[in-house]
Structure 1
Amino acid sequence: MKTKLAFTLILIFGILITGCKQEEQKIEVEEVKIDLINDAFPEAKQEVKKTMDSIAKSAQDGNIDKLISFHAYSPKFTEFKDGQPRNDGEANEKYERHVFGSVSEILKFDMNDMKIAVYGDVANVTLHTDFHLKFGEDLVVVNEQMTLLLVKTKTGWRIVHEHHSPLKKEENE
């Protein structure tokens, strides 16, 4: 009798355990494909635009330290300007501090035809400058093609490369 009861209890216990076993749930993780070339990255583009506006404001306000803070100077930093050989972050900072520190008045500081292209944590900004700067009584007009390469860092978007070249004047001007 004890054997039948033990056998019956084992059988019932086995059925309960087998019946209560939960089905394995398969969780499918859908891989999000990012197209660095074609995706627009609208939020990042807006961040870069805000950075560009802050760069312009710092120059217009004469806040040289703030202007310099938008650069990520490192051994990787490069700049091309005026057809001269490439220079580094140290030369860029020295030049920008000298030029923007010598401006007595900014009459115009337009960044025209700006295009922002974001590639994940890297952004390429191209524009045409129309800067009218006074150095004492002397007026200097800066019309250039400018390219800025920015990288997203912990402290925001920072310039890692600059390229400046003269903007060819229209035939009608």
Structure 2
Amino acid sequence: MKTQFTLLILTFGLFLNSCKAQTDLINDEFPEVKQEVMETFGAIAQSIMDGDMDKLISFHAYGPKFTEFKNGEPRNDGEANEAHERNVFGSVTKVIKFEAQDLQVAVYGDVANLTFHSDFVLQFGEDIVTVNDQITLLFVKTKDGWKMVHEHHSPLKK
């Protein structure tokens, strides 16, 4: 009986200790996970610079929950996002500049929010376009790595 009581006390103690050690999703920084998300973002940028649209699209988790806001228009879905990205980034003839200013990554367990101000200069044939937007990319950790489930693009005031 004494052994069972001791085992019960030890088990209860371990349970209480594990409850105290729970992760603080709001305040913890998760540096290793941040690095994974940054590597994914770097691969996304590289796919754009390489003109590899299939690779770019592979970083999205298209499905019924995917959403995008851009150009002040109503929300659209994954089908519209894919068509837009293939059309726009597939038409780039040269990436002159592709920088992310004020980049921040906030990790909340298996969800990460990446925000930045774009400083992109892209060439489309003879036309040169500068893109200075506020961009939010919402990622979810999947069995295939970090995937975008939401994008938001809005012009950055000068």
Distance 1:47 1:131 in 2: 23
Q: Percent of aligned pairs with the same residue?
A: 63
Aligned to 2:111: 122
Distance 1:22 1:35 in 2: 37
Please report how far the alpha carbon of residue 39 of structure 1 lies from its aligned counterpart in structure 2 after TM superposition.
0.8
Please report how far the alpha carbon of residue 22 of structure 1 lies from its aligned counterpart in structure 2 after TM superposition.
8.9
Distance 1:141 1:109 in 2: 10
TM-score w.r.t. length of structure 1: 0.83
CA RMSD of aligned residues (A): 1.3
Please report how far the alpha carbon of residue 23 of structure 1 lies from its aligned counterpart in structure 2 after TM superposition.
3.4
Aligned to 2:156: 167
Aligned to 1:63: 52
> In the TM superposition, what whole-angstrom CA distance separates every residue of 1:19-58 from its partner, at most 9, and x where no partner exists?
xx99344344221211111111111111001111111011
Distance 1:152 1:56 in 2: 19
> In the TM superposition, what whole-angstrom CA distance separates every residue of 1:107-135 from its partner, at most 9, and x where no partner exists?
00111110000000000111000111110
Letter in 1 for 2:154: S
Unpaired runs of 5+ in structure 1? 1-20
Aligned to 2:101: 112
Aligned to 1:102: 91
SS in 1 for 2:3: coil
1:50 matched to 2:39? The reply is yes
Distance 1:41 1:85 in 2: 33
TM-score w.r.t. length of structure 2: 0.90
| Rg larger for | 1
Aligned to 1:10: none
1:23 matched to 2:23? The reply is no
Residue in structure 2 matching 1:39, options 7, 28, 34 = 28
Distance 2:50 2:93 in 1: 11
Distance 1:115 1:46 in 2: 11
Unpaired runs of 5+ in structure 2? none
Aligned to 2:132: 143
The count of corresponding residues between Structure 1 and Structure 2 is 149
